[in-house]
Chain A
Amino acid sequence: EPEVTQTPSHQVTQMGQEVILRCVPISNHLYFYWYRQILGQKVEFLVSFYNNEISEKSEIFDDQFSVERPDGSNFTLKIRSTKLEDSAMYFCASSEDRDPYEQYFGPGTRLTVT
């Protein structure tokens, strides 16, 4: 069964450093998403991406964040200058065109900012 994959599974970085989180969505899916979950808190939407552009973003997704689909398979989230409060699990998800709410999530990348 096709699945969303994410790398790395765990990333440790120092405050102020740039990080890139990588995702490979399911191949025939057209919508791509990033969510995050701070330890012990709810899953929060960050951004959705369709047709090579951001279709929706939350107020969390400020200028420090960017997304890119650099090729036909990868989808990345870049955090330009990490802060301690960016420490969280970051989940990538994808969905088909027929139902964007039927989203399939990857296993997540645990980002630790020290």
Chain B
Amino acid sequence: DAKTTQPPSMDCAEGRAANLPCNHSTISGNEYVYWYRQIHSQGPQYIIHGLKNNETNEMASLIITEDRKSSTLILPHATLRDTAVYYCIVRVDPSLRAGNMLTFGGGTRLMVKP
């Protein structure tokens, strides 16, 4: 799986959009980008995933660049409850059944401030 690089920490003002970047320059054509977050001491929480098109759900939007070498997770109106560590994980096409483990790196610690 492609290696990912994320900034170790970011701040965001409450009510503003939080834009969390992830670099995955060695991503291959059949690899998906997954985002998870971990609020302090809780289990990781799935947020969203995508292959090449932008994706949106009730939690967030995922923007993947045209060359797929980077992506941005957008929380449109961050709240204090969004303070967490956010993980960007690249995994091969799930239909290939190439193993199911998730590898969590250091992630980005997002602090939403009032």
- Interface of A toward B, CB cutoff 8 Å: 4, 31, 33, 35, 42-45, 48, 50, 55-56, 58, 89, 91, 93, 95, 98-108
Contact = CB atoms under 8 A, between A and B. Distances in A.
A66 B89 CA distance: 27
A106 B41 CA distance: 11
Contacts of B103: 45
Given A56-B99, A100-B100, 8 more contacts: A42-B106, A43-B44, A43-B104, A55-B100, A101-B89, A102-B49, A103-B46, A108-B42
B42 A107 contact: yes
Contacts of B89: 101
Contacts of A95: 100
Interface of B: 32, 34, 38, 41-46, 49, 89, 91, 94, 97, 99-106
A107 B105 CA distance: 20
A108 B99 contact: no
Contacts of B104: 42-44
Closest 8 CB pairs of A and B: A105-B43, A100-B100, A45-B101, A43-B104, A91-B43, A99-B94, A48-B100, A101-B91
Contacts of A103: 44, 46, 100, 102
B100 A56 contact: yes
Given A101-B34, A101-B49, A101-B94, A45 B102 contact: yes
A31 B42 CA distance: 21
